[in-house]
Amino acid sequence: MKNLEKAFALFDAYNRNSPEHLVHEGTEYPAEYFYAIKLHEWVTKLAPEASESLLLASRAQHIGRWEIARNTYEEGRVGYLKWRTDLSKFHASKAAEIMESVGYDAETIERVQQIIRKQKIKADDEVQTMENALCLVFLEYQFDDLIAKTSEEKMIIILQKTWAKMSDPGRNQALSLHYSDEGKRLINMALSAS
C-alpha cells in the first residue's frame, strides 16, 4: 500500500470517531468522515491533476474537528476567529503526525500544513482550490440546514462572504448545483445585492 493510501486510511479512521452523525441518501455517516470524503471529491473535480499534497490536505482539512468545541470559546466574532485559528493549527498538527507515521518527508508534510492553514490563499492556486472545495461542500451539503436556523439577513451576508472566498472555477461549480427553492432565492438575493 502506498503512503497516500495509508495516510487516507488513517485520516478516515480518525474522522470516523466523529460523535456527530448525519444521514445522506438513506445512509448514516460520522459527520467529519462524510465531509472529508466530499471535500476530497470536490478537490479532485476542481483539480483532476491535483498534487499529492493537495489530495492529502483535502482528506485531513478538518480532521478531528469535534475535539475543539466552539462553545469552549467566547461568543462573538473574536471568539469565533480564535476558535478557527486554533482548529487550523490542530488539523495541521494532527495531519503531520499521521503523515510522519506512514513515512512522508518533512517537505511534503510542511506543504500539506500550508494548505490546511490556508496560507497565501489568493496567491496559491492549491490553497484557493481547497477554499473553493470547502465552499462547495458547504453549499451542497450544509446550506439548507443553516437556512433553517438562520435569519434571511444573516444568510445573505454568509452567502456573499462565501462567494467572495471563491475564485471563478468555484463560482461556476456553485452556480451548477441543485438548490432548494429557498436556497435559490437566497443566492439570487445575495448575488444581486453584492
Q: Is the pLDDT confidence value at 1 over 70?
A: no
Q: Does residue 194 register a pLDDT over 70?
A: no
Conformation bin of residue 16: beta by default, left when phi > 0, alpha when psi is -120 to 50: alpha
Nearest-angstrom CA–CA distance, 1 and 153: 50
**What share of the chain in percent tops pLDDT 70?**
99
* Helix, strand, coil content of the chain in percent (nearest 5): 75, 5, 25
Segment 18-61, tens digit of pLDDT: 999 999 999 999 999 999 999 999 999 999 999 999 999 999 99
* 86 C-beta neighbours (distance < 10 Å), count: 13
State the average pLDDT for the chain. 94
Of the candidates 29, 1, 35, the one whose C-alpha atom is nearest the C-alpha of residue 138 is 35
pLDDT-based confidence at residue 120 (cuts at 50, 70, 90): confident
What is the tens place of the pLDDT at every residue in 99-115? 999 999 999 999 999 99
- The pLDDT value recorded for residue 122 is 78
CA distance 122 to 50: 17
